[in-house]
Structure 1
Amino acid sequence: MKKVLIAIDYHPNSEVVASAGYELAKSMNAEVCLLHVLAEVSHYGVNYSEFLGYPGYENMGVDLNVTAQLQEMAQEYLKSAKKQFNDDKVSTALEIGETHRGILKYAKEWGADLIVMGTHSHSTLEKVLVGTVASKVLEKTEVPVYMVPIKR
């Protein structure tokens, strides 16, 4: 295994996931990439015309400032996460869209040999209704996945 992709989100437990993935990668002398997937940013900046008597949104377009700010914040997050390892060889990547799709897409593009990700504890009902990112990645992946258990 030469390339280890570590998927991190804004949850504080990402530090545990990133550290576990980094240590595993270093034990295999593998290249490391920290990946963050930002939810579809257009959802945050859509402006709607008046509806149901509510005049809160206008012009039916995407606020490009919101999009740029969210991407900039995500890049800063990745930069900060990378610094924790004090290793110039660690790379970072940002994908936009559904989390599981972003992880799978980038893993394929980058040629990852292993995906490292955490498992958040969700309620049984939430798992049944929407599934989890981890289960969606496991269902569709073409490469092994190293799951780091995260308990609340």
Structure 2
Amino acid sequence: MKKVLIALDYNPVSEQVAKAGHELAKKLNAQVCLIHVLTDVSYYGMQYPTFMGYDGYNLSADMNLSTEMRNFAEEFLKTATDHLQDPNAGYHLAEGETETALLNYAEEWNADLIVMGTHSHSTLEKLLVGTIASRVLEKTKIPVYMVPIQKE
């Protein structure tokens, strides 16, 4: 395995996913690429404390939301990549439906492994909407390394 694609969402638990994926990639002597999929713009208005060295978004009422969100997401990915302190790590910002955009880029980049976190969701929520992780697992031909994340 020479290419490890690490999927990050805009949530502080992404730091755990990035760390676990990066440690695995180092053991495999593999190249790392962090990927984030820009989907629902309202998601980025969440106010979290600093994570992975990123202070968060400062939204203003008069901005061009689409362009600004893309810029913010790009800044988040760049900061997260720098946080790994790996000069060979890269990043990619995709847009669209999360699992489709993630799988399309994984194939385009020729990823050997996809790393993603599994958030702890209620059983009812999983039955009604499923999870991005489960949808990726249903559709991928690329091995997936799941990092379990529990809500505090």
- Would you call these one fold, judging by a TM-score over 0.5? yes
TM-score interval, normalised by the smaller of the two chains: 0.7 to 0.9
Partner of 2:56: none
Equivalent positions of 1:21-60 (< 5 A) are 21-39=21-39
Secondary structure class of the residue paired with 1:100? helix
TM-score by length of structure 1 reads 0.83
- Aligned partner of 2:115 in structure 1 is 116
Q: 2-side partners of 1:83 and 1:2: how far apart?
A: 20
Q: How many correspondences in the alignment?
A: 132
Partner of residue 86, structure 1 = 85
Following superposition of structure 1 onto structure 2, how do residues 1-152 of structure 1 map, counting pairs within 5 Å? 1-39=1-39, 65-152=64-151
In the superposition, the TM-score normalised over structure 2's length comes to 0.83
Supply the distance in 1 between the matched residues of 2:31 and 2:107 (Cα, whole angstroms): 15
Gaps of 5+ in 1: 45-63
Aligned 8 A contact 1:40 1:98 in 2 = no
Question: Which one has a bigger Cα radius of gyration?
Answer: 1
Same amino acid, percent of matched pairs: 61
Runs of 4+ deviating beyond 3 Å: none
Q: For structure 2, which runs of at least 5 residues remain unmatched after alignment? A: 45-62
Letter in 2 for 1:88: P
Query: Deviation per CA, 1:39-88, whole angstroms, max 9, x where unpaired?
Result: 056xx9xxxxxxxxxxxxxxxxxxx9211001000000001101111112
Cα distance between partner residues in 1 of 2:16 and 2:84: 12
Matched to 1:143, the amino acid is I
